[in-house]
Amino acid sequence: MTDERADLIFTGGAVYTVDAARRWAQALAVTRGTITAVGTDEQARALAGPGTEVVDLAGRMLLPGFQDAHCHPPGGGYDILHCNLSDAYSLEEYEGIVLEYVAAHPDSEWIVGGGWSMDIFPGGNPSKDVLDRLVPDRPVYFPSRDGHSVWVNSKALEIAGVTKDTLDPADGWIVRDADGAPAGTLHEGASELVNKHVPDETMEDWIAALRVAQKYLHSLGITAWQDAIVGLDSSYRTFEAYLAFAGGDELTARVIAALWWNRHRGIEQVDDLIAARARGPVGRFAATSVKIMQDGVIENQTAGVLEPYLDAEGNVTENRGRSFVDPEELKAVVTRLDAEGFQVHFHAIAERAVREALDAIESARQVNGPNDLRHHISHIQVIHPDDLPRFRELGVVANAQPLWAMNEGQMLHLTIPFLGPKRSAWQYPFGSLVRAGAVLAMGSDWSVSSPDPIEEIHVAVNRQAPASYVYGGESGDVFLPEERIDLATAIAGFTINAAYVNHLDDVAGSIEVGKFADLAVVDRNLFAQPVEEIYQGTVEATYVQGERVYQV
């Protein structure tokens, strides 16, 4: 408490604090950006003066601002500003969007954008013929929603000189027609063959993308995030863009950058990462994490599995996916990053990659001893049951993208058939992780999928698509019902536990006296209605440090 009058008070609400006791309150007071009272209307009003703004919540819910533990806002903003397929879910819709975009951008040398869903196309592979018909004269470069594959037209292949004689690179492959000619889809590292010819975005492009992304995320109640790929090189200059954006006082969100680990370089890049980190923090931006992508994705069978994938007929193949960093090298890299005080943020989809990440952290622990860096593994789509307790033992945060834990098209057609029944039942084991004592933080992976935390919380609780879901309406059965988590646990994943992985839990992530007033107002109390209706909740206002950054 302080003698100063509050600048802002909220009264008459369902204030869900997400403090250690998960207490509820009715009201709170904010003084110079910091929470100075949490309690009853009377207690908050006691701090009001003539200049105090009073927000009557009228029964609405007040939560800590949501934090997204894994997302790509520059890419999401870029999609919004370019040929954006991510809100559509059929080939006809894609064609309409492309035609409209091409007509509206006669001067664009390249047609870029993307966000297509693999399960729209046979085998997950779109054909160049469709794009050739729509855009015969200019090159097209469209990454998929998950960014692991790219759809191109003939003009783009021609400019890149990719023909039937082009060999597949070591870390990806070109989908080919019966004659061996490129068919229009490039997976994983093969995208680089064309990508290097796409003009690099300028720093101004990335700042423009950040501006629209931040606005959109604030409209969903998000006040902080961890950017899961912040690039230092010229093809993805988002680090410089964040520094400029934060330095120009435009960054209202709190952002932790996970600097990209370039798997084509070695341990010598640690020096560059240290130098980058030392350029911050600037404003609310700090680059204290390093992102290592250890495997690909299951849909194109590049995720690292212990037992081989099945083929479409259910026969066992030879393919166990990829380890983008050799597991022994990974141990050395993680041990070094850990010694340098970096948090390591892994991309690990399938059970072998998850194990390799855990093994690497175990090695670092053995060499460097315990610390508070809070390494985390994102995606954790398949976890071998033996590895579940290791998250708690090693202090590794499980970073989940709950929107993927449902029976939608990609799961039914491109995942379960290739994993087989035993492993398919190990997917997204959120309930098991919680029961094993893991800290479960959550994020969206936007623009891979929607960044709306309420929709994501809905799926974490229900393991079923909300009625509003547009991608592959086959919501059907509850997906592995024993892995559902309760609403309080799901909200914690997007508030205090995401704040924990962002090292922001001392200043945000819960509503407590002394913390920043980072807040989200939701139109209804999410606990006071059937869980099947959680998705109907909408954010009506968002505050960072007591400043309103969004209002409906």
User: With respect to Zn ion, which residue has the nearer C-beta, 228 or 519?
Assistant: 228
User: With respect to Zn ion, which residue has the nearer C-beta, 7 or 445?
Assistant: 445
Interface segment toward Zn ion; rule CB under 5 A; list 129-137, 209-217, 221-229, 260-268: 221-229
| 228 lines the binding site for Zn ion (CB under 5 A) | yes
User: With respect to Zn ion, which residue has the nearer C-beta, 302 or 475?
Assistant: 302
Interface segment toward Zn ion; rule CB under 5 A; list 220-228, 256-264, 368-376, 492-500: 220-228
To the nearest whole angstrom, how small is the minimum distance from the Cβ of residue 70 to Zn ion?
A: 6
| 445 lines the binding site for Zn ion (CB under 5 A) | yes
How many Å is the maximal CA-CA distance in the chain?
79
Interface segment toward Zn ion; rule CB under 5 A; list 75-83, 113-121, 445-453, 519-527: 445-453
DSSP reduced 3-state for 371: coil
Under 8 Å between Cβ of 64 and 509:
yes
- Compute the C-alpha angle 25/506/347, nearest 5°: 110
- The sign of the CA dihedral 236, 239, 245, 248 is negative
In sequence order, which residues have a C-beta less than 8 Å from that of residue 10 and are 6 or more positions away?
A: 27, 28, 30, 44, 55, 57, 62, 519, 521
Distance CA 515, CA 82 (A): 38
In sequence order, which residues have a C-beta less than 8 Å from that of residue 486 and are 6 or more positions away?
A: 461
User: With respect to Zn ion, which residue has the nearer C-beta, 235 or 529?
Assistant: 235
One-letter amino acid for residue 161 of the chain: G
To the nearest whole angstrom, how small is the minimum distance from the Cβ of residue 41 to Zn ion?
A: 42
Alpha-helix runs per DSSP H in 369-420 = 388-394, 409-414, 416-419
DSSP reduced 3-state for 291: strand
| 351 lines the binding site for Zn ion (CB under 5 A) | no
To the nearest whole angstrom, how small is the minimum distance from the Cβ of residue 347 to Zn ion?
A: 6
Q: How many residues does the chain have?
A: 552
User: With respect to Zn ion, which residue has the nearer C-beta, 228 or 251?
Assistant: 228
User: With respect to Zn ion, which residue has the nearer C-beta, 228 or 490?
Assistant: 228
The three state secondary structure string of 225-244 is EEEEEECCCCCCCHHHHHHH
Cis peptide before 281 (omega within 30 of 0): yes
| 349 lines the binding site for Zn ion (CB under 5 A) | no
- By rule CB under 5 A, what string of x and - marks binding of each residue 180-219 to Zn ion? ----------------------------------------
Interface segment toward Zn ion; rule CB under 5 A; list 301-309, 321-329, 365-373, 437-445: 437-445
Number of residues that bind Zn ion (CB under 5 A): 2
- By rule CB under 5 A, what string of x and - marks binding of each residue 395-434 to Zn ion? ----------------------------------------
To the nearest whole angstrom, how small is the minimum distance from the Cβ of residue 268 to Zn ion?
A: 25
One-letter amino acid for residue 464 of the chain: Q
Cis peptide before 468 (omega within 30 of 0): no
Interface segment toward Zn ion; rule CB under 5 A; list 226-234, 337-345, 350-358, 451-459: 226-234
| 162 lines the binding site for Zn ion (CB under 5 A) | no
Under 8 Å between Cβ of 37 and 47:
yes
To the nearest whole angstrom, how small is the minimum distance from the Cβ of residue 345 to Zn ion?
A: 9
Under 8 Å between Cβ of 28 and 35:
yes
In sequence order, which residues have a C-beta less than 8 Å from that of residue 214 and are 6 or more positions away?
A: 73, 77, 250, 251, 252, 253
- Which residue spans within 110-181 are E strands per DSSP? 111-114, 140-143, 149-152, 172-176
To the nearest whole angstrom, how small is the minimum distance from the Cβ of residue 159 to Zn ion?
A: 28
To the nearest whole angstrom, how small is the minimum distance from the Cβ of residue 191 to Zn ion?
A: 15
User: With respect to Zn ion, which residue has the nearer C-beta, 297 or 383?
Assistant: 297
Q: Rounded to whole angstroms, what are the CA distances from 31 to 13, 171, 508, 545?
A: 19, 53, 15, 9
To the nearest whole angstrom, how small is the minimum distance from the Cβ of residue 401 to Zn ion?
A: 8
Interface segment toward Zn ion; rule CB under 5 A; list 28-36, 228-236, 358-366, 428-436: 228-236
Interface segment toward Zn ion; rule CB under 5 A; list 166-174, 310-318, 324-332, 440-448: 440-448
To the nearest whole angstrom, how small is the minimum distance from the Cβ of residue 48 to Zn ion?
A: 44
Interface segment toward Zn ion; rule CB under 5 A; list 103-111, 177-185, 438-446, 507-515: 438-446
User: With respect to Zn ion, which residue has the nearer C-beta, 135 or 396?
Assistant: 396
| 227 lines the binding site for Zn ion (CB under 5 A) | no
To the nearest whole angstrom, how small is the minimum distance from the Cβ of residue 493 to Zn ion?
A: 16
Distance CA 495, CA 482 (A): 23
User: With respect to Zn ion, which residue has the nearer C-beta, 19 or 68?
Assistant: 68
To the nearest whole angstrom, how small is the minimum distance from the Cβ of residue 446 to Zn ion?
A: 9
Task: Tell me the DSSP string of 30-93.
Answer: EETTEEEEEE-HHHHHTT--TT-EEEE-TT-EEEEPEEEEEE-HHHHHHHHHSEE-TT--SHHH
User: With respect to Zn ion, which residue has the nearer C-beta, 25 or 448?
Assistant: 448
Half-sphere exposure of 236 (CA within 13 A, CB side): 17
Dig out the tokens for 284 from the structure: 């609310």
To the nearest whole angstrom, how small is the minimum distance from the Cβ of residue 108 to Zn ion?
A: 26
Under 8 Å between Cβ of 63 and 454:
no
Interface segment toward Zn ion; rule CB under 5 A; list 189-197, 264-272, 289-297, 439-447: 439-447
User: With respect to Zn ion, which residue has the nearer C-beta, 63 or 228?
Assistant: 228
Distance CA 53, CA 49 (A): 9
Q: Any idea what DSSP says for residue 310?
A: B
DSSP reduced 3-state for 492: helix
DSSP reduced 3-state for 440: strand
User: With respect to Zn ion, which residue has the nearer C-beta, 205 or 445?
Assistant: 445
User: With respect to Zn ion, which residue has the nearer C-beta, 321 or 451?
Assistant: 451
Interface segment toward Zn ion; rule CB under 5 A; list 138-146, 288-296, 316-324, 444-452: 444-452
User: With respect to Zn ion, which residue has the nearer C-beta, 295 or 445?
Assistant: 445
| 295 lines the binding site for Zn ion (CB under 5 A) | no
Residues that bind Zn ion (CB under 5 A): 228, 445
